[in-house]
Each structure stands twice: as C-alpha cells, then as structure tokens.
Structure 1
Amino acid sequence: MNIGEFQEALFAKGREAGFAEMEIYYANGRSVSVSVLKGEIDEYKNAQTGGLSFRGLIGGKMGYSSTERLDQESIDYLLEEARSNAEVLENEEPEELFAGSERYHSVNTYSPPLIGTVPDQLIEAALSMERIALDADPRIDMVRRSATSVSESEVLIVNTKGLNCHRQHSSASASIYVLAKESKDAKETVTGGWFDFSLRSFDDIDVEAVALTGVREAVSKLGANTVPSDNYPVILRNDAATSLLSSFASVFSAESVDKGFSRLKGKLGEQVAGGNISIIDDPLMENAPTSKAFDAEGSATARHELVKDGRLLTFLHNRKTARKAGAANTANAAKGGYKGMVEVSHHNLYIAPGTDSLDEIIRGTDRGILIVELQGLHAGTNATSGSFSLAAIGYLIEHGEIVRPVNQITVSGNFFELLNGIETVGDDPRFIGSCTSPTLKVSSLSVSGA
C-alpha cells in the first residue's frame, strides 16, 4: 500500500470509528553509502528508514499513535492506539489541526536521478579520494575514512481540515578524514578532513578537491605548539564560527526564551549585537541542504531577520509559542523524526556576510590567532549564560601573516559579549548545514596556553 492509499483508507476508517479530525505526518528516507579503508571497501550500506505518526480528535480529546508499516493491520492499530491514549492523556491546552497556509513558496531540493547513482561510481570515488590523499603528501600517514553517499527523503503532512503538504529532498556527499605525521617514526600525529555535497548530481562534487583540501587541513597543523596565555584578537574561520553559532542557536528559539533558557528574554527591539551583525533564518535559499517550503506543522516558511544591524527583531516561533507570546508565527516548527514532538528550531540560520576575505582579515591583524577548529562544544558551552570554554586548534598571526600552527590552547568568552565585539565579518559563509557563519574577527578573547 503506498502512502496515498494508506492515508485515504486510514481517514475513511477513522471517520467510521468516530474521529472528528485526523492528521498524519509521514517521513521516509533512503540512502546508499560507501566507505573505504586501505584500498578496500570498509562499509557499504543501503538503508531505508521512516514511518508515520497519527493524531486524531475523538471524544473531544487528541490521541496519538505511530507505525513503521503501511498496511491494513497498521490502520487498525493506529486508530485503536490513538483512541486508547486519548482517554488517558491530559492535554495542557486544546489542540487544533492546521488547515494550511494561503500560499507556499516553491523550493527545489530534489533531483530524482540522484538516488540512482551507480554504486560502482560511489566506490570508485571513495577509492580515488584515498589514493589522491596518500599521493599528495608523504606526510599523510593514513586515510582514516574516505566516504561517499547519496540519499533522498520525503515528508508528507495531510489532515482532514485541508492541509496537504509534500516535499522531497535529495543529496550527494563526499568526505575524507586523514592522519598526518612529519615522518614515519614521528610520535606527533594530527588529523584533518573535508566535505562537500550536491543537491543535484554526484558528478557535481569535485572529489579531487575534497581529498586535497583534507590533506592541506591536516599537514598545515604539523609542528603546532601552544602560545602564552593572554587576551588575543581572534579570527574564527567560517567553520569554527559556524560551530560556535550552532552551539548557541537555541537562544533565538521562543521555546527557550519562554523557559528562561535565553539571556535574550525581554530584549526584543533592543541592541544585542554590534551594528555590523545581522542574523537571518532563510528556509527558501537556493542550493542550501536544509531549505524547505513548510515546517513540521505545515505552515508556509519565509525569510526572517532575527537580528538586523545588531537589533533583535523576533524570536523563532511555532504555532504554539506564537499564540502564547501573542506574536507572529515564523513557521519554525520542527520534529526529530516522525515520532518526535513538535518543537522550535531554525531552518537555515546564518550571520549575514561582510565584504572582507579571510586573507584580507589575516593581513589586517598585527598579532592574533586564527582558529579553525573548536572542540568540546557540548560540554564547553552554556547556552543559558552564553559562556564558553573550548579547546581550539589554529594558527598564530604576526604582522599580518600566519607564522605557525597552534594547539593546546583553550579559548574562553561569552557568546552575547562576542556578538558585540566582532570587528570584521568575512565574505565566506559555507552553507553545508542548517547553521552557517562567515569568518568573524573578534577584538579580544581570553586564550589559555602556556
């Protein structure tokens, strides 16, 4: 039974069983992935995941159920399970199904042929990246992982009030992770890697560039040492800045604000960052992997400026938080899978880029540290207070030039203070996930080293 047939049969039988309103949330995904090690296939996976959640109003109460199978037996189970827990669940507030938005933007994130990429092509690309990396520099001791994948997914939300939203997504990726040492007998080892993707075709990915970039990321860290503890001007390269922004993205969620988990509570309309900082959530971007036309509740998505020229304009809302706050719904409802509860999350959250390149920012720094990797983000950040203390890897800058790699340092500060201390915003955001930042130069951060 396909999803369309299943939904029709479920709603028909649900009406007979006394359900006044009903909704399904269907999510399905398929992926083919390959990883190689020492010239051999290390792992090959052809996976399919997904399922369907159901909610229905019966006897004035909303009941819930879910299944992984689309067959007649599952229809009976879903209705009985929803009826049973409707009788015992105590809902905090009455729930209403959403009839849908008036208009939805078109977002193209699906290429049907992509999932049909021949497995041999994925295997050869992974092997090729491994060979290129090993041949590129004698200091590459081992390719720990060389991997390729293609995937596709779909989400369907349909209810008896007229909502009918469907989206499909496809992507291809290639990644490499290498280990380097100065010589075969050397004890010091460093790691590095790189990743690229395409939403259209695996052929769009330059696997040679992925391999060579991964090599450069690793060997450039050889010979690293610490620096004296001090306050330094710090350049957070785009990937490090993205990691930091991602760790604190929840402070813009109305859910976090309502629970007292964000220092931005009560600051709408106020200056919360420097005038050179604008933070945007744009789910309608082209060629961004997390773009979408509707959220987990079926609300039409749109571009929203959360912070404009340093001033806080809005939080991210789903329908529930918007009602509670008396604010406009920003269509940021999210679910962690088809069984998940509806929460609030960003789609494509990013700091608006500036005009300076990374090279220009480095040249404009007389003495400072360029950070390319932050570690311990889960344990070393506190989204409520904004404080962070993170192990970091990077490079020492003197007189506008990189002079050597740096490790064994810890960088500390406060995210909210950092937003007000950004001297320069780079021109280099790299949209490879749901959160993105260009390179950021911060006037001063505490660095603990020697």
Structure 2
Amino acid sequence: MDIRSFQEKLFARGQELGVHKLEIYYQQGRSTSVRVVKGEIDAYTIKESGGLSLRLEHNGQMGYAYTEKLDEDSIDFLIEEARQNAGIVESKELEELFAGSESYVSLSTYSEALSNVAPEKLIEAALAMEKEALQADPRITMVHTSSVSNSESEVFIANNLGLDCAAKYNQAVAGIYVIAEEGGEKTTGGWYEYTLEDFDQVDYLKAAREAVKEAVSKLGADTIESSNYPVIFRQDAASTMLEIFTNIFSAEAVDKDFSRLKGKIGEQVAASIVTIVDDPHMANVPARCTFDAEGSATKRVEIIKEGQLLTFLHNRKTAQKFGVESTGHATKGSYRAKIGISPQNLFITAGATSLEDMIGSMDKGLMITDLQGTHAGANAVSGEFSLSCNGFLIENGAIVRPVNQITVSGNFFNLLQDVEVVGNDLRFLDSCTSPSLKVKSLTISGA
C-alpha cells in the first residue's frame, strides 16, 4: 500500500475509534552501491530501510507506535499500541500536534534523471576511478576503496489538523581511498565528489586525482617542536572543528546548561569577520530541505553575524520555552527517534582570501589538514579540545614539509575570537561546512 492510501485509511480508522488527533512520520530510504578492488567488483549492495511512526492523543497524553509494514493489519495495531503507550508514558509537558506553517519555500530536492541511472554506470565509474588513481602516481601502491553509490530518500509528515509535508531527496557519490608508499613509509588519502542532479556531473576522475595528491603529499612527514603557532585550518579540518561544536548553538543544549553561549544573545562571541549561517534553501547542497522533522518551514537563519550572537537553533519545544518562533531545526535520526535539534546546512560564510594567499602571508606556522580523535578529544560544553592532527609546516610564505605526530590544543570559544582570516574556499559536503580559517595562535605538541 502506498503511503498516501495508508495515511487516509489510518486517519479514517482513528476517527471511527474516537481518536481525533493523529500524526504520522514516514521515512524511507534506498541505495545502490558498488565497490571495486583490483579491477573486480568486490561488493554490490542494494539496501532499503525505513518505516512509520504514529503518535496520537489519548486521555490527555501522547502515545507512540511504530511499523515497517504499510498494510491493513498494521492500522489497528498502530492505533491500539499507541493508545496503550499513552497510558504508560508519563510526561510533565503536554505535547501538541502542529497544524503546519503558513507557507513553505518551493525547492527542487529530487532528480528523476539521477533516480534512473543504470547500475552499470556505477560500476564503470568505480573501475575508472580506481584505474585513474593507480596511473596517476607510481607511489600509489594500492586503492583501498573505490566506491560509487546512488541513494534516495522520502519523508512524509501528516496529521489530521492540516499538516501535510512530503519531500523526496537523492544524490550520487563517488569516493576513493588510496595508499601511497615510498622508502617503507605508507600514507593514505581520500576524496569524494557528489551530484544532486545528473550522474554525469560526478567528477569521479577528479576524486581519484585529489585522493592521490592527498596521500602523496603526506610522504616524508615528521613531527615539529612543541610551541604556540599561528594555525591555518584547511577547509576540511575547519569543517570538522565546527562540526564538533555545533551543539553549542542548540537551544536544547542551552536550556540544559550544556552551552557556554547561554545568556549571550546580542553579545560579541566571535571575531567581527566571522558570520555563521544555516541556510537549507541553497541550491545544490546535500542538506537542502523546506521543512523540518516537525513540519515547521525551514528558513535562512543568521546565528552569528559579524561576531555577534543573534539566535540559537530551535525546534517547537524550545521555541515555546524561550518565547520565540521555531527556526525549523527539529530533527529525527530515524522514524523511531525522538525529536532533537540539529543544523540543516550550517556554515561559516566565505571570505575573500584564497588558501594560497593565507599560506603566502604566514612567516612561520602550521596548516592543519585533518583532525583525529574528535569524540574523545573535545568537550563541547567547556570548548576545550586536544586533537591529534596532520598538516604542513609553513615558513616564509611557503609549505616546507608535511607534519604528523602532533596534537593541537585550545578552546573553541577562544578560537572563534581569534580568527584572523576567513578563506574563500567553501565546499558544501555535509550539514556543517567552513572555509579555511587562519587563527592567531594555538598550542601544538610535537617533539
């Protein structure tokens, strides 16, 4: 049974049974992926997942039930299960169904052309990517992974108060991970490219060349003397750093005293050149969407503007507590998950300086290219971090050599204040992105 027919029958049955407030959250995903090794298909996988959650009001409480099957037998089961759960779950806060926002932005999130890509094209791309990497440099001794995937997902939220939000999304991704070797030393490098519109736009050969470049550039790395250094976080490392601490912008974290930004609305919390925005309406970004997990309309939100904190990210629950409107950032990890708060498409806005010019302006310092141990080495509440990393030593405006076996330490809240240059190299890959950032000084532990 298709989801629309199931919803109509479920709501009609609810009315028959005297249940007048019902809401469904439906989520479905499908992906086709191929991985090749040494010119042969190593794995070909078709994966489907998803299901539906029902919440309804019964005797003044909300009850929940879940199913993966959309059939006649599931309808009575869902309603009865949710009514029983309403009697068990005790909550001090009365949940309310949402009738929907006044309007929603029209946004293209699904490509028919991409959905119809033949599996053979995925295989051809994965094989070509592996071949390109092996031919690009003799120091590449192995392609650990060369894979291509084509995925799509669907979300549908509806209730009998008028909420009716539906969207489909899809994207194709080509990723590769290679190993370089020279003089007994081994290094690794990876890269991926994606498209949201047409598979022919996936530059998988570029992905291969970039992965090779990354792996080879690390050969000959050594540690450096421990000291305080000016630091450039390259775009990918800067994005990782921002992602580690995105929870500080969540109103839920603020409400629980898990963010040092509590009580600082209107204050200067970052350098004046730092502006942080969440904009899910941008074209051709993976995290684009027009509604959140509660059916609230999404919108462009300036969180920090020229260093000043303007707002937190809200769902309907925190917005009510704070006396503001939801910013459209309610999220669910799956159809079974509870409502939380996460960014949609959060990024530090780009500056005007290229990475090359950042490097050229540095007398002596470090460019960090990747951060490791992000789960154990950072405290999102205090802002303190101590992370293993790799990068390059810079002297007299030029890269001297690669660097490894080092740790960068500092405090994220201080880092925001100490940003001296913002790069122009934004590359949207996920829900959290940053251009390269030059920071005044951080502690580097090495030799």
Same fold (TM over 0.5): yes
Alignment match, 2:328: 331
Alignment match, 2:128: 128
Offset at residue 201 of structure 1 (A): 1.3
Offset at residue 48 of structure 1 (A): 1.1
* Correspondence 1:361-380 to 2 at 5 A: 361-380=358-377
8 A Cα contact 2:275 2:307, kept in partner: yes
Q: Which amino acid aligns with 1:40?
A: E
Alignment match, 2:147: 147
Is 1:397 the counterpart of 2:394? The answer is yes
Alignment match, 2:415: 418
8 A Cα contact 1:24 1:159, kept in partner: yes
Is 1:193 the counterpart of 2:190? The answer is yes
Match of 1:74, SS state, is helix
8 A Cα contact 1:194 1:211, kept in partner: yes
8 A Cα contact 2:172 2:195, kept in partner: yes
Match of 1:442, SS state, is strand
* Correspondence 1:273-288 to 2 at 5 A: 273-288=270-285
Alignment match, 1:296: 293
8 A Cα contact 1:112 1:170, kept in partner: no
Once the two structures are superposed, residues 242-288 of structure 1 have per-residue CA deviations (whole angstroms, 9 ceiling, x without a partner) of 00000000000000001111110111111100111111111111111
CA distance in 2 between partners of 1:151 and 1:394 (Å): 33
Offset at residue 207 of structure 1 (A): 1.2
CA distance in 1 between partners of 2:317 and 2:190 (Å): 41
For residue 435 of structure 1, the aligned residue among 411, 418, 432 is 432
Is 1:18 the counterpart of 2:15? The answer is no
Q: Which amino acid aligns with 1:411?
A: V
Offset at residue 238 of structure 1 (A): 0.4
Provide structure 1 residue ranges, at least 5 long, that are not aligned to the other structure: none
Q: Which amino acid aligns with 2:36?
A: V
8 A Cα contact 2:248 2:254, kept in partner: yes
Alignment match, 1:156: 156
8 A Cα contact 2:232 2:436, kept in partner: yes
Bigger mean CA offset, 55-64 vs 403-412: 55-64
CA distance in 2 between partners of 1:243 and 1:58 (Å): 44
CA distance in 1 between partners of 2:330 and 2:173 (Å): 27
8 A Cα contact 1:392 1:411, kept in partner: yes
Is 1:221 the counterpart of 2:218? The answer is yes
Aligned residues: 447
Provide structure 2 residue ranges, at least 5 long, that are not aligned to the other structure: none
- With normalisation by structure 1, the TM-score equals 0.98
Match of 2:270, SS state, is coil
8 A Cα contact 2:98 2:295, kept in partner: yes
Offset at residue 115 of structure 1 (A): 2.3
Once the two structures are superposed, residues 100-159 of structure 1 have per-residue CA deviations (whole angstroms, 9 ceiling, x without a partner) of 111100121210231221111101110111111011111001000000010111100010
Offset at residue 325 of structure 1 (A): 1.2
8 A Cα contact 1:272 1:419, kept in partner: yes
Match of 1:7, SS state, is helix
Offset at residue 21 of structure 1 (A): 0.4
* Correspondence 1:8-407 to 2 at 5 A: 8-182=8-182, 186-407=183-404
- With normalisation by structure 2, the TM-score equals 0.99
Q: Which amino acid aligns with 2:354?
A: S
8 A Cα contact 2:163 2:295, kept in partner: yes
Offset at residue 365 of structure 1 (A): 0.5
RMSD: 0.7
8 A Cα contact 2:192 2:204, kept in partner: no
CA distance in 1 between partners of 2:62 and 2:229 (Å): 56
8 A Cα contact 1:255 1:321, kept in partner: yes
Match of 2:77, SS state, is helix
Percent of aligned positions that are identical: 57
